Structure 1
Amino acid sequence: MSSSDLQSRIVRYGDLRPCKTAFIDAHTPGSDQKENFTIIGGGVSESPDQHVHIRDTPGFNIGAAGQPPKCRNSLHSHTTAEVFFVLKGRWRFFWGRWGSAGEVVLEEGDIINIPTGIFRGFENVGTDYGMIMAVLGGDDAGGGVTWAPQVIEEAQAHGLVLGENGVLYDTKAGQALPDGVAPMPVLSDAELSAFPELPVQDVVRGYVARYQDLMALSRDMPAKVIGPDALLKDRPGFEVSFLSRNSLDAGPITPDKPVVLMPMRGHWHLKTDALETVLNPGDTCLLKPGETHVLTPSMTGEASLYRVTSTDDPAGATWSQG
């Protein structure tokens, strides 16, 4: 394996290319300044303008959302897993038919595994531009997104129409639905009744992990964050672990499944047979099965990293798991 092959599977934070027209609420006031990033896989974008950095899909997708203060992502639901950790800023996650069933605020390094089958949204409640990194279940993460009816209606009022083919059309730019393509229908009251309104305590207890707790848990070994025997017990099609300076793996690691490395704090030295490099916060690195590597912090000071590993489990958590 050549060094250029691995280099092509490292996406640097400074090289991320945003899409500002990725979703149906791209013109809706309050949501019109957000940026969407598709790092690994096809992502969930509804726009052909979305740039994909790495098209390989290791059983899940990696993306990110960048938003200025007070900018929000509108209410939507997924049939596959949607996991976020806060890279920069302070973020409010809210859920329910109208976004009023509950909310939780996450700080830098915190992680949330949002239950499938509920309407959810998120907002930058910090004072500066914020960034959250996302892990999305399955190879086709865009196939299971459903918008709350009011989001579709508000978007139409501002010129954006979502076709039943999953493509956005901007009527203000002179675009129209193609012949034979109808607008995406809104959910009926009967269909909406199937979306649960989860209590705050259930979501916080079963689906949120705090950064400082993970730092403590990773004192001697990598902390299991998401998985059947992890802090957040789930089988979303991937497992998430958390590494800090004192919880490094002993010796070289040879994964038998695809692995994605996502540094949170500090600078991490990655060595393989083909390449030595440093991964920094916001960088994303995809390692293939059989790619032996050693990972260590390269400088003194705080160091933390999220590691995502593909599994054979179906891609999608269920909200009823306790």
Structure 2
Amino acid sequence: MTPQDMEPRIVRYGELQPCKTAFIDAHTPGSNQKENFTIIGGGVSESPDQHVHISIPHGFNIGAAGQPPKCRNSLHDHHTAEVFFVLSGRWRFFWGRWGTAGEVTLEPGDIFNIPTGIFRGFENIGTDYGMIMAILGGDDAGGGVMWAPQVIEEAADHGLVLGDNGKLYDSKKGQHLPDGVKPMPVMNEDELAKRPEPTTADVLPNHVARYWDLVALADRKPVTVIGETGLLRDRPGFEVDFVTRESATEEMHSYDHPSVLMPVKGHWRVDWDGGSVVLAPGDTMSVPENLAHSAVPSMTGEAALYRVVGTDDPAGATWRG
């Protein structure tokens, strides 16, 4: 495979195309400055404005959220796994019916396998624009987003209505629900009562891994962070490994599923039979199944990356209580 063949499978951080109208809270004060990115797969955007960088099915989706300080992503849920790692900034994640059941603050490199079945949100509590990278289970990303009732109600007050077809309609642009399309129903109290409200102590041990802990653990070989035998034991339809300078190897290897390389720190040289490329933090590279390749730091200094590999596991729920 030549470098020209591989080029469409590489998305550079500086070339990411944001969508500012991706979700129902796009007009809601406090959330109206966020940017959504769909890097690999169809994503979960509710807007036709969303740009997809790589549409090749992988069995999972890769996306990102970029937000200035004090900008918040509203409470929502997915049918499948949602994993975030912090690329830049300082972020507070919170969850529960009203976002008060628990919370955790994450720094660059930290990773969070957010339990499904609970509403979750996040906000940039740093001083600069921040970016978090996302992995969503399944090719269809679980069929969209489920919003907390108050999010849908507040959005309507600011002109945005979500149809039961999963599409947004903006009254500020003169749009309205087409014939045959009804507003997306909100969850009733019985449905809401069935949702767990895990505390911070419930969630942290099995769902959060800290960057510096992973660096220490990956001093000789890569660490499986999320997987059947991972630190965060789960089978969400993909595995996530953490690789550092000390655990990287020039030995060629391949997988029978597509994989994705996502540097967190440092520059990484990826070699394969036919070409080579250097990745920087924020870049995303899709490696085809069965393509032998290697990834090693190309410069001195701190170096770490996350590697995502598809599996045959169903992209199901992660919260087991």
What TM-score, normalized by structure 2, do the two folds share? 0.99
Report 1:24-173 matches (<5 A).
Answer: 24-141=24-141, 143-173=143-173
Give the superposition deviation at 1:144: 4.2
State the partner residue of 2:312. 312
In the alignment, structure 1 residue 18 sits paired with structure 2 residue 18 = yes
In the aligned structure 1, how far is the partner of 2:132 from the partner of 2:316?
20
The SS at the match of 1:242 is: strand
In the aligned structure 2, how far is the partner of 1:231 from the partner of 1:250?
25
Deviation string for 1:94-134 (max 9, x for gaps)?
00000000000000000000001100000000000000000
In the aligned structure 1, how far is the partner of 2:266 from the partner of 2:316?
31
**Aligned-partner residue type, residue 42 of structure 2:** G
- Whether the aligned pair in 2 keeps the contact of 1:266 and 1:280 (CA below 8 Å) is yes
**Aligned-partner residue type, residue 310 of structure 1:** G
In the aligned structure 2, how far is the partner of 1:270 from the partner of 1:11?
14
Greater alpha carbon shift after TM alignment, 289-298 vs 129-138:
289-298
In the aligned structure 2, how far is the partner of 1:267 from the partner of 1:16?
18
- Whether the aligned pair in 1 keeps the contact of 2:79 and 2:142 (CA below 8 Å) is no
- Matched positions, count: 321
* Structure 1: stretches of 5+ with no match in the other structure: none
**Aligned-partner residue type, residue 237 of structure 2:** G
Q: What RMSD in Å do the two structures reach over aligned CA positions? A: 0.9
Greater alpha carbon shift after TM alignment, 21-30 vs 240-249:
240-249
Give the superposition deviation at 1:257: 1.3
In the alignment, structure 1 residue 7 sits paired with structure 2 residue 1 = no
State the partner residue of 2:275. 275
In the aligned structure 2, how far is the partner of 1:3 from the partner of 1:140?
29
In the aligned structure 2, how far is the partner of 1:254 from the partner of 1:107?
31
State the partner residue of 1:210. 210
State the partner residue of 2:201. 201
Percent identity of equivalent pairs:
69
State the partner residue of 1:285. 285
Large movers: runs of 4+ above 3 Å: none
- Whether the aligned pair in 1 keeps the contact of 2:80 and 2:142 (CA below 8 Å) is no
Give the superposition deviation at 1:249: 3.4
The SS at the match of 1:8 is: helix
Give the superposition deviation at 1:142: 5.2
**Aligned-partner residue type, residue 126 of structure 2:** G
State the partner residue of 1:222. 222
Deviation string for 1:69-100 (max 9, x for gaps)?
00000000111000000000000000000000
Deviation string for 1:21-66 (max 9, x for gaps)?
0000000000000000000000010000000000012100000000
The SS at the match of 2:143 is: helix
In the aligned structure 1, how far is the partner of 2:135 from the partner of 2:80?
10
Greater alpha carbon shift after TM alignment, 263-272 vs 252-261:
252-261
**Aligned-partner residue type, residue 196 of structure 1:** P
What TM-score, normalized by structure 1, do the two folds share? 0.98
- Whether the aligned pair in 2 keeps the contact of 1:45 and 1:142 (CA below 8 Å) is no
**Aligned-partner residue type, residue 269 of structure 1:** R
In the aligned structure 2, how far is the partner of 1:10 from the partner of 1:41?
13
